[in-house]
Every structure is written in C-alpha cells, then in structure tokens.
Amino acid sequence: MNRLAAFLRLMGAGWRLVRADALVPKEVEPLLPPSARLAGWFLRLFAGGKTRKGRPGERLARALEGLGPVAIKMGQFLSTRADIFGATFAEDLSHLKDRLPPFPTAIARAEVERSLARPIDSLYTTFGEPVGAASLAQAHEATLLDGAKVAVKVLRPGIERRVVEDSATLRLAADLAHRLVPAARRLRPREFVEVVIRALDLEMDLRFEAAGCAELGEAMALDTHMRAPAVVWDGVGKRVLTLAWAPGVPLSDPKALEQEGLDRKALADNVTRGFLAQALDHGLFHADLHEGNLFVSAPAAITAVDYGIVGRLGLAERKYLAEILYGFLSRDYVRVAKIHFDAGYVPAHQDMDAFAQALRAVGEPVFGRDARQVSMGKLLAQLFEITALFEMALRPELVLLQKTMVTVEGVARRIDPSHDLWAASDPVVRRWIARELSPVARMRELADEALRALKAMARYAEQPPVPPAVVVEKTPAWPWFLAGAGAMVLAFAAVRILVALILA
C-alpha cells in the first residue's frame, strides 16, 4: 500500500510538471534532439491553466514549490547554476531559497515552548514575525534576556510526515530509474537517493544542526574565509534552534552585492576557499552553501547559516581530493588518472593512459581562462561522456562533496562572473599538499606505521603460552623474532625517509 501511495505521488509530481510545461519546456525545444522534441510536443498537449504562464524558470519554481522539501532542494541547486541555465532561469528559481510563505507566528511560539519545555518569555524578551521561510523551517528575529539579538529557527508543522512521504517517492523514482534506464545504473540512483534522504532525516532534528554549527564554527575560526554564528544552547531543542544573529545581508537579496566598499573578487575567493579549507583541513564542510545561507558584509566577510547538512570526509578521501585538485592545478593529468585508479573510482581493467588523455582533453581548454570564456554546460557534458566511457561509477560517499563543489562554484561566479575556481583553490590546495605530503609528514606517517607494527608484535608476544603437553623444551624464539622484526621495520622506515628527503 505504501508503494502504491508513493507511485501515485510520483505520477502526481510528473503531472504537475507536465501541466506547467516544466518537464520539456517549449523554450528549449531548438536545443533538443528530434526524439526529445517529439516527446515535448506530446507532453505539451496536456499543459495548461495558470501554471503554464511565465518563463520556464517561473513555471518550474511554481511546480517545485508545491512538490515538497525534496523538490525545493533540487530547485535551490538549479538556481545556483546561472552559468549553465542562464541568469534569468536562475533568478526565477531563486525565491525558493528563503522566501516561501511562512506559517503563523502563534504556531511558532507554541512550538518553541513545547520543544524547550519552558515559557517563551523565560528565554526571549521579544519574538518577532518570520524573517525568512524555507522548505523545512522558518526563522524569527528575537532578543535574549541579556539583550543579545538572535535568530530562532522553527520546523514547519507536519514537515516530518511530508519528508517521509517524499522519501518513499524518491526511493521509488530511483528504483524505476535503475530498472528501466540501464544507462543510469552507473550513477547508482538508489545509493544517491539514500544519501539525500539521510541528509533530510538529520535536518529533522535541530539538535544535530546546533552541534554541526558549533563544530564547523571551531574549524572556520582557524581561517579568515568564513564564519559561523554562535549557538545559544538554552534555546536548542529537537524542533527549535537559536543562533546569534548573523551580520550582513543574505546573498539572495540583490542589495547584498550593492553594499558600499564590497570587494567582489575577494568575496568570491572566500566562498571557494572557505569551503575547500573546511573539506581538506578538517574533513567536514557546510553542504548547503547557496546564497540564502550566506550573509555578506563589506569588504568580503561571510557568515554561513543553516547547518542542517554537514558533509564529512575521511583522511583517504581528503588525500585523493587534494591530489586530484593539485594534479589539475599543475596540469599533471597522468597523476590525476593514477589517483582515480588508486582510489578505485575507475575500474582497474580500464586503460590509465587513455583516461589521462581524456582528462587532458577536459582540462586544457579551460585552464587559466576567464570564466566568461568557458561554457560550463559543455564542460559538464564532456565530463559525463568521459565517465561513461571509462565506467566511472558514482561514489555515494562523495555525493555531498560533489554537489557542494558545484553549488559553491555557481555562487562564486554569481558574485564575480570572472571568478577563476582554480586560481582561488590554489593556495588552499598547495597548503594542504605542503603540510600533509611533505617529507616531514611522510616521516610522521612512517613512524606511525612502525609504531603500529611494534604494538601488533607486542600483542602477539603477550598471548597465553602453549599448553604444557605440546611445549618443546628450548629457548623461546619470540624475543629474537620481535627484535629482528622491529629492527627490520625501523631500518625500512629509515630508508624510506632518506629516499623521501632526497626526492623532496
């Protein structure tokens, strides 16, 4: 029964997009192959009503707004890619970021008291009307008893049930794509959907968001690129979150980039470098960096809000990411290809040299060029063709990273149309490489390996003795084995350190 309900919701979503002429818009017909044009012509026979009015982006925004939080999240992602879909299309979708219809303040106040189990006046002297409403929650301006200005985030009533329903529909769509579209299987739609659903589940408990904000705030404080507001823990509950008021103007407001003294180039660089510093240096990053979540003030200060989605990377993933970026920065495509094979991103039976050649074909035409000279749409299409050719499957653990990288680039280029992603990334990547892959770092890694080996052998030596019935009367061999093995490990480590120093 649940699967039938999900199927009906999926059909309803498709029908809403068809009625709005948002599935295969007439405006893009000249860009489509004959088969797609025919499908678009057929679907438009069923379009009509008020939803059909307006530009493609306006029609899609109206359709997504009625389809729930998952669809709105997709619209937020699309709105950051003006370089692919055009500035008008992106602008038409931009209201999905934080300007949805709010629910009544009286309901929000009651929810705060219920979640915090205390009267609202015991924490706030004022609790104002909504200042922003998004797909999952809305924010209110409030004042603490000590006079500090804060933002109070409250989940929408009934949103948990809606997310559960959307998740079931999304799982069904992924399952159908896997079964009916063989070409989509390498993108692992089922695994991708589970990553999205998991992120939404975490967003349903604002205590997790408070913890993520505090943790990322500590990491951001070590650099100057981006900041996080302080958490007011007395005002944190499962459905309520209180943070210090973020200074500046949200990037979703056109006035943000009109502030006197604003340095657009430095601001765009800070967006890119802030994200990379989080991911590489600390292994965690804000995974929802759209304009509505970034408050800016002159000359180039950024405060990020909304920590419902925090991505994490293990040390191995961070190393691969840094080396891949460094390889592109240094135009060493053979190195980038080898890293892809070592990480298992490309199957071992593929030709590494051919993959390196394909990467060169992608990287060289755009390296060092002004962003206005690069068609990101064509670049992404070429990358997609290459990954298909070499059977490169989607990595579910990197979905949030890949999504955030694309979003960050879109935001940075909206701030500064000539933003050079590679030039902005260079100092952060080189800093990480110098710190983690330097001879000193290699010596530290080798010393750790030797220490682990000695501890393992020590544990082996401490094992209980063999029962007397099988004991052979002779001098125990393990002390000599331990000493000899330890000496070999240390000697090997010394040789590797010497080689590393020579090659550095």
pLDDT tens readout for residues 418-467: 888 778 888 888 888 888 766 655 565 566 666 667 677 667 666 666 55
Q: Which residues contact 319 (CB under 8 A, 6 or more apart)?
A: 436
* Inter-residue contact 97 to 132 (CB < 8 Å): no
Where does the pLDDT of residue 231 fall: very low under 50, low under 70, confident under 90, or very high at 90 and above?
very high
| pLDDT for res 34 | 75
Cα 501 to chain center, whole Å?
A: 37
Q: Let me know if 112 is exposed, middle or buried by CB neighbors in 10 A (0-12, 13-18, 19+).
A: buried
30, 117, 282 from 405: Cα distances, Å: 30, 40, 16
Output the six-digit token pair for 412. 């940075």
For residues 161-182, give the mean pLDDT. 83
Active-site positions read 288
Helix, strand, coil abundance in the chain, percent, nearest 5: 65, 10, 25
In the 8-state DSSP scheme, what is residue 282? I
Q: How far apart are CA 433 and CA 319, in angstroms?
A: 9
The mean of the pLDDT values for the chain is: 79
Beta bridge partners of residue 227, listed in sequence order = 303
Task: Check whether 87 has a pLDDT greater than 80.
Answer: no
Is the bond preceding 476 in cis, omega lying within 30 degrees of 0? no
Task: Check whether 234 has a pLDDT greater than 80.
Answer: yes
Where does the pLDDT of residue 254 fall: very low under 50, low under 70, confident under 90, or very high at 90 and above?
confident
Where does the pLDDT of residue 481 fall: very low under 50, low under 70, confident under 90, or very high at 90 and above?
very low
Where does the pLDDT of residue 85 fall: very low under 50, low under 70, confident under 90, or very high at 90 and above?
low
3-state secondary structure of 188: coil
In the 8-state DSSP scheme, what is residue 375? -
Closest C-alpha among 394, 196, 230, 225 to residue 309: 196
| pLDDT for res 126 | 96
| pLDDT for res 503 | 41
Output the six-digit token pair for 254. 């056109």
For residues 366-382, give the mean pLDDT. 59
Q: How far apart are CA 37 and CA 165, in angstroms?
A: 33
